[in-house]
């Protein structure tokens, strides 16, 4: 995950790669039981916030960054908290 968070997400200028990286990080958080913890160690929330603020980033990247940020706030969607609803 650190490779995606550091190299692909922050160092590439290819916006399609950035959008896909945001999506993949969000899905990792969503489906992995420890996904939120792993991504918090990589400071992914801050990276998503930086992408959302960057005026040079396109709409698709911003959309995926916002969605990833929301998934990080929710944590693992398969946790026991949601199974009893």
Residue-level pLDDT at 4: 81
Compute CA 14 distance to the chain's CA centroid, rounded to the nearest angstrom: 17
The pTM of this model reads 0.83
Residue-level pLDDT at 12: 86
């Amino acid at each position: 995950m650190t490779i995606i968070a550091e190299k692909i997400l922050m160092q590439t200028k290819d916006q399609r790669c950035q959008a896909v990286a945001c999506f993949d990080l969000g899905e990792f958080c969503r489906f992995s039981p420890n996904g939120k913890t792993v991504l918090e160690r990589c400071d992914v929330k801050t990276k998503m916030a930086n992408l959302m603020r960057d005026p040079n980033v396109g709409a698709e990247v911003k959309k995926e960054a916002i969605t990833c940020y929301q998934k990080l706030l929710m944590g693992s969607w398969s946790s026991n908290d949601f199974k009893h609803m």
